[in-house]
Amino acid sequence: MTRFSLRRVGAVARKELLHLRRDRVTGAMIAGIPLMMTLMFGYAINQDIRHLRAGVADLSGTQHGRWLAADAQATQVVDLVRHAGSARELEGMLARGEISVGLLIPPDVEQRLVRRDRPAAQLLVDGGDPIVLGAARGLVSLPPPGWSGARAPSPLFELRAYYNPERRSAVHIVPGICGVILALTMVLFTAIAIVRERERGNLELLITTPVQSAELMVGKILPYVAIGYVQISLILGLGVLLFDLPVRGSLLDFYVAAGAFVVASLTLGLLISTLAASQFQAFQMTFTSFLPQIMLSGYMFPFDGMPRPAQWLAEIFPLTHFLRIVRGIVLRGATLADVTPELWPLGLFFAITLALAALRFRKRLD
Amino acid sequence: MSEAAAIVTHGLTRRFGERVAVDRLDLEIPRARVSGFLGPNGCGKSTTMRMLCGLLTPSAGEATVLGLSVPRDAETLRRRLGYMTQRFSLYEDLSVRENLEFLAAIHDLPRAAARARVDTLLAEFALAPRAGQLAGTLSGGQRQRLALAGAILHEPELLVLDEPTSAVDPQSRRDFWEALFDLAERGVTILVSTHFMDEAERCHELAILDRGRLVAAGKPQALLAALPDRVIELDSEQPRAARARLEREPAVRSAAQLGSRVRALVDPALAEPERALEGALAAAGILARARVAAPSLEDVFVAATRSRERES
């Protein structure tokens, strides 16, 4: 019938850019969300637990009791900020949330240390917070006081963290944030793109023009591809400047691979836009697609620890593949060829969602 | 004149679930004329127009528009058709010029031609001083002119306008209709829907719709001449009581109050209707002066929809 016209694609893309320029809130979101989230999470999210507020009740009043408390303090995992006179008082502090860890040293701590048949002391932990609980467990494995230097039994394993030797959280967090922000903003921008035209009544006019579904879809995606790259660059730039994010692989490789993730997320948004009846529905659907992505992609919880069906499901999500790409290229210095196994699922996702969106979008009102 | 007709429909029907929005419509709309759809809200005007534009699929029947079968050839038709929606459907956050340039590009006009065409339209519709203004900040009349300019930008042979003047002041409405007649003069077929009687009177051809059915069609003059009733107007101090009393009169087919007057459609078989009605009112203690009035399209509309009621 009529051929695919680049002039029409360009007209749609130009129009989208004009909307963006006039819509200050969305314009601010483009730069604001990456800036805010990277700064906030880069500084705030810290998986190395340090300086938990702790209280100590030393019922023994002995040298060993003080050593035990000093050793716990020396780990830096806890800060002994409170001193209690009894177990009950310590429990009260825990219950009121004044402390999250309580160290209870029994009166017979010296005998216990000598006889070694029972644990020397008790740790009272706020078990409601899994991360605090995990950190406190680490304290349990402390060698007993008095075992110092050569006499200390050597640990079974020596832990070495590759790629992030100092185990700084920001190095993990920033690439992850990059994916999470794009998975949210890219989908959201296009999810409201068509539904907004329908709500404002523009669609009835648009579908009586010769513009084709494919031209409309491509034209709507194009400006956001550029915006996606702006966001990626902002986040990476902040990561390098503020958090010493190492970029070990080729930036060009990363930008090419990231493009696959950007277009896959954009077409997911378009598909949502053809399904939603209102902008509010589009928002809801976007978040419905977003939550499983951050939960199952390996951003929040280790991918290998999930049950198999959850892993299969996660393989569908664009974010899962992007996280492997960004961690691979940026952190481990992988090449584009190394991440090919992540590229074709993204390509497939893009092709299927684009086809579905174009099929769903009919130039009809019924 | 079937070959010359711009639009021909046979048994065109559209159902939305149980509701029949358009019911077995047979239409023939001539070329290069302003044809009007007259009818109240919900009578099927918009639905019919959307079917003719290929936006809605008919449930039954067929429609041929500019010789093309709709909705099968809708894509081809779109290049030859201009459609102005009831609601302002251009982009409010784009300027007047940006809106027109977008439409020009969407219609695949070459860049230079597009620029010239947009400039011509801006001048023709007195929008040149507003070219840089956002469409959302225009007045009702300016928006209407912009929407019309957008609809005719690609020089369509057929222009479909769905209640184009419902949000426009009287002067703008007059100007708007002048523009429509200019276009018809240049050979453009225009189909316009309205619920204003004065606008309906301006149309070359008129189709009156009521609850999805075509109840009358023809030239306005012919429709007025064919009115099966006599129109009597009565002046009274008690117009409400007079109207209520007249409705009980067997020869009176309908009565409506217009300020201090009552307008009655009366069976032409009634001899000396003025005297007869005055007498009937006087018997009820209501003073009134009656005279014969010229029929209006509103009377035609009332008469046409009334005969439908009797049917059902």
pLDDT given for residue A171 in this prediction: 76
| pLDDT score at B309 | 63
Average pLDDT over every residue of A99-106: 85
A363 touches chain B (CB under 8 A): yes
Q: Does the beta-carbon distance from A5 to B108 stay under 8 Å?
A: yes
Q: Where are the beta strands (DSSP E) in chain A?
A: 52-58, 78-83, 101-105, 122-125
Q: Which residues does chain B have within 8 Å of residue A210's beta carbon, measured at their own beta carbons?
A: 75, 78-79, 106-108
pTM: 0.80
Contacts of A7 in chain B (CB under 8 A): 105, 108
Say how many CB pairs under 8 Å bridge A and B: 83
For residue A304, pLDDT over 90 is answered with no
Interface test with A, best of B108, B133, B153, B158 (most A CBs within 10 A): B108
Burial class (CB in 10 A: 0-12, 13-18, 19+), B104: buried
User: DSSP 3-state assignment of B83?
Assistant: strand
Contact A56, A91 (CB under 8 A): no
What span, in angstroms and rounded, lies between the C-alpha atoms of A151 and B312? 106
> What are the two backbone dihedrals, phi and then psi, of residue A57, each rounded to the nearest 5 degrees?
-120, 100
Tell me whether the omega of the peptide bond preceding residue B156 falls within 30 degrees of 0, making it cis.
no
A interface test, pick of B65, B90, B91, B159 with most A CB neighbours within 10 Å: B91
Cβ of B89 and A202 within 8 Å?
yes
pLDDT tens, A176-202? 889 999 999 999 999 988 899 989 989
Touching check for A208 and chain B: CB below 8 Å? Answer: yes
Both tokens of A76, joined, read 């830096």
Nearest to B240 by CA among B264, B266, B259: B259
For the four alpha carbons of A327, A329, A333 and A335, in that order, the dihedral sign comes to positive
pLDDT tens for residues A337-346? Answer: 999 999 999 9
Rounded to the nearest 5 degrees, what angle is found at the Cα of A298, between the Cα atoms of A226 and A46? 90
Question: Residue A164 pLDDT > 60, yes or no?
Answer: no
B209: phi then psi, degrees, rounded to nearest 5: -110, 145
Share of chain A above pLDDT 90, in %: 37
A270 vs chain B: nearest CA distance in angstroms?
Answer: 20
Q: Which of A2, A15, A208 sits opposite B81 (nearest CB)?
A: A208
Measured CA to CA, the distance from residue A149 to residue B269 in angstroms comes to 126
> Minimal Cα distance from B59: which residue of A?
A366
Q: How far is CA A215 from CA A193, A194, A200, A209, in A?
A: 14, 13, 20, 12
In angstroms and rounded to an integer, the radius of gyration of the C-alpha atoms of chain A is 27
pLDDT in tens for each of the 312 residues of chain B? Answer: 445 799 999 999 999 999 999 999 999 999 999 999 998 888 899 999 999 999 999 999 999 999 999 889 998 999 999 999 988 999 999 999 999 999 999 998 999 999 999 999 999 999 999 999 999 999 988 999 999 999 999 999 999 999 998 778 888 889 899 999 999 999 999 999 998 888 999 999 999 999 999 999 999 999 999 998 999 999 999 999 999 999 988 999 999 999 999 999 999 998 899 999 999 999 999 999 999 999 999 999 988 887 666 555
Residues 6+ apart with CB under 8 A from A52: A77, A78, A79, A100, A101, A132, A135, A136
State how far residue B80 is from chain A, nearest Cα, in angstroms. Answer: 10
User: In 3-state terms, what secondary structure has residue B31?
Assistant: coil
Mean pLDDT confidence for A80-87: 89
Q: Rounded CA gap, A32 and B277, in Å? A: 77
Torsions phi, psi for A178 (to 5 deg): -55, -50
Question: Measured between CB atoms, which of B74, B93, B150 is closest to A23?
Answer: B93
Which of A209, A213, A362 best tests the B interface by mutation, with the highest count of B CBs <10 A? A209
User: What is the pLDDT averaged over residues A280-292?
Assistant: 93
Question: How far does the CA of residue B278 sit from the closest CA of chain A (Å)?
Answer: 53
- Does residue A23 carry a pLDDT above 70? yes
Contact partners, residue B184, CB within 8 Å, separation at least 6: B32, B33, B34, B190, B204
Contact with chain A for residue B50, Cβ under 8 A:
yes
CB atoms within 10 A of CB B275: 11
Percent composition of chain B: helix, strand, coil (DSSP 3-state, to 5): 40, 30, 30
Residues of chain A contacting residue B88, judged by C-beta atoms under 8 Å apart: 201
The whole-angstrom separation of Cα B227 and Cα B297 is 9
Task: Answer yes or no: is the ipTM higher than 0.90.
Answer: no
Q: Residue A1's pLDDT is what?
A: 47
Residue of A nearest to B52 (CA): A208
Closest CA relative to residue A181, chosen from A325, A27, A343, A38? A38
Chain A residue numbers touching B153 (CB-CB < 8 A): none
Q: Tell whether A210 is within 8 A of chain B (Cβ).
A: yes
* Residue the block writes with tokens 């005969």: B307
CA A13: distance to chain centroid? Answer: 31
Chain A residue nearest residue B55, CA to CA = A364
B195 contacts B163 by C-beta, under 8 angstroms: yes
Rounded to whole angstroms, the Cα distance separating B122 from B103 reads 14
Q: Which of A8, A18, A208 sits opposite B55 (nearest CB)?
A: A208
Q: Report the distance separating Cα A300 and Cα A296, nearest Å.
A: 7
Token pair for residue B237? 């101090």
Beta bridge partners of B35: B191, B205
The whole-angstrom distance between A266's CA and the closest CA on chain B is: 22
Name every chain A residue with its beta carbon within 8 A of the beta carbon of B83: 205, 208
Q: Does B133 touch chain A (CB under 8 A)?
A: no
- A209 touching B (Cβ < 8 Å): yes
Report d(CA B172, CA B161) in Å as an integer: 16
User: Per the CB < 8 Å rule, is B94 touching A15?
Assistant: yes
Across all residues in chain A, what is the average pLDDT? 84
* Residue B15: burial class (beta carbons within 10 Å; 0-12, 13-18, 19+): middle
- Tell how strand B189-194 and strand B158-161 pair up: parallel
Residue A365 is nearest to which of B55, B102, B150, comparing CB atoms?
A: B55
Q: Decide if B75 and A365 are in contact by the 8 Å CB cutoff.
A: no
* Nearest residue on chain A to B95, alpha-carbon basis: A18
User: Coil, strand, or helix at residue A326?
Assistant: helix
Cα dihedral B96, B97, B100, B105 in deg (nearest 10) = -150
Dihedral angle computed from the Cα positions of residues B181, B183, B188 and B194, in that order, rounded to the nearest 10 degrees: -50
Instruction: Tell me how far apart the alpha carbons of residues B125 and B38 are, in angstroms, rounded to a whole number.
Output: 26
Cα separations in angstroms, A360 against A5, A146, B113, B192:
21, 73, 34, 31
Is A200 in Cβ contact with B92 (below 8 Å)? yes
Q: Identify the residue with better confidence: A160 or A17.
A: A17
Long-range contacts of A65-73 (CB under 8 A, 24+ apart): A65/A105, A65/A109, A67/A145, A67/A146, A68/A103, A68/A105, A68/A109, A68/A120, A68/A121, A68/A145, A69/A103, A69/A105, A70/A145, A71/A142, A71/A145, A72/A103, A72/A139, A72/A142
Strand order in the sheet with B288-292: B252-258, B261-266, B230-236, B288-292
Q: How far is B61 from chain A (nearest CA, A)?
A: 17
Q: Is B80 on the interface with A (CB under 8 A)?
A: no
Question: Residue B106 and residue A11: Cβ atoms within 8 Å?
Answer: yes
| Strand runs labelled E in B163-283 | 189-194, 205-210, 213-218, 230-236, 252-258, 261-266
B93 close to A (CB below 8 A): yes
Most B CBs within 10 Å: which of A2, A12, A17, A366, as the mutation test of the B interface? Answer: A366
A3 part of contact set with chain B, CB < 8 Å = no
